[in-house]
Amino acid sequence: MSSVYRQSRTAAPAPRDVVFIAYPRMSLLDLSGAQTVFWAASRALAERGQPGYHLHTASLEGGLVSTVEGLAVDTCTLRELDITALDTLVVPGAPDICQTLDEHAGLTTWLQRQAPAARRVVSVCSGAFLLAQAGLLDGRRAATHWAMCDTLRERFPAIEVDADAIFIQQGAVWTSAGVTAGIDLALALVEADCGREVTLHVARELVVYLKRPGGQAQYSTLLQSQAQDSPQFDPLHLWLTDHLGDPKLTVERLAEQAKMSLRNFTRVYKQSTGRTPSKAIELFRLEAARRLLENSTHNIDKVARLCGFGDEERLRACFQRHLSISPRDYRSRFSREG
């Protein structure tokens, strides 16, 4: 029996206990995605002779709990848990949580009373609504699925909802955006516990990017840049996402920001990332333009200027070169605004 249940403990290092909350019609991937990250981390830690994680799935009544996808998850009961031994509590989301939140009054009452005893409390996707209902997000920034941000903001005005963040840490409370963002959040938790080397091992095994930064928009080029063995240029990439519209953004400026000579920066950057700094600027700008075309109503010329292309023609050439599609056609296929 693991340390999360009532028993005597020794002083020897023990695995961290992670409990996943289950309830009817939750999303299976919200649960299993994060759970698999911790499982893979335990395997990696075992290979290094280090304690990993004990994973538990619990519900109010125990037994089989049906997910929205139709599969059932076997659970223990929450009353069996020794909360004083709990390291991390993970609450998955559900597609219909906005309509069924009141049906989970028993669970939110348990969370309100017991969750603060855990070292960390985590929500995946719309699981943030359960934390919000329990009062655990009052006065905090929080993330949830992009389609539910307005509803979370309206129902719980004491929460500062961030519609762009992949995940957010506010003290001991972590929240994530939709579905697969729970994997990013779990990787961040593992990195906080075990370091980058173990987390990179897990990311490689699961064939996912090492880390999407919690407070940044979902720039896939940034994710690719972070999936390198060395974190040397992570801060530079984050800085770059904030300065893409600057017409004076040059490779020389990047070298200055990296505190390196131009020649050395160009050489080391290419070795570390597999691309030249000038190509990186172009790809980061391309990703920024894609996001604006998907999520804003700005006209094409304004998108070009905001992302540093200068004019629509240069933006169009970049889209054709990399995506074989025009910005206008891209918007017509992928925009969420119409």
* CATH classification for the domain delimited by 219-338, as one of 3.30.300.180, 3.30.160.20, 3.40.50.300, 1.10.10.60: 1.10.10.60
> How many C-beta neighbours within 10 Å does residue 213 have?
20
Note whether 57 and 71 are within 8 A (CB).
Answer: no
What is the pLDDT, as a whole number, of residue 209?
52
Give the tokens for residue 47: 């290979």
SS3 245: coil
The span from the CA of 67 to the CA of 29, in Å, is: 10
The span from the CA of 162 to the CA of 150, in Å, is: 10
To the nearest 10°, report the CA torsion of 107, 134, 173, 35.
20
Question: Model's pTM, two decimal places?
Answer: 0.64
Ranges of each domain in the chain: 16-194, 219-338
What is the pLDDT, as a whole number, of residue 207?
67
Same fold across 16-194 and 219-338 = no
Q: Does domain 16-194 have CATH number 3.40.50.880?
A: yes
Note the helical H segments in the chain. 28-47, 97-100, 105-114, 128-133, 149-155, 181-194, 196-206, 220-226, 234-241, 251-257, 262-273, 277-295, 300-306, 312-323, 327-334
Note whether 221 and 284 are within 8 A (CB).
Answer: yes
- Measured distance between the N- and C-terminal CA atoms of the chain, rounded to whole angstroms: 54
pLDDT per residue, tens digit, the chain (338 aa), is 344 444 434 344 678 999 999 999 999 999 999 999 999 999 999 999 999 999 999 999 999 999 999 999 999 999 988 888 899 999 999 999 999 999 999 999 999 999 999 999 999 999 999 999 999 999 999 999 988 999 999 999 999 998 767 888 999 999 998 878 899 899 999 999 999 889 888 888 886 655 444 443 433 454 455 444 457 888 898 899 889 999 889 999 999 999 999 999 999 999 888 889 999 999 899 989 988 998 889 999 999 999 999 999 999 999 988 877 899 988 887 675 55
What is the pLDDT, as a whole number, of residue 227?
42
Q: Which residues pair with 176 in a beta bridge?
A: 167
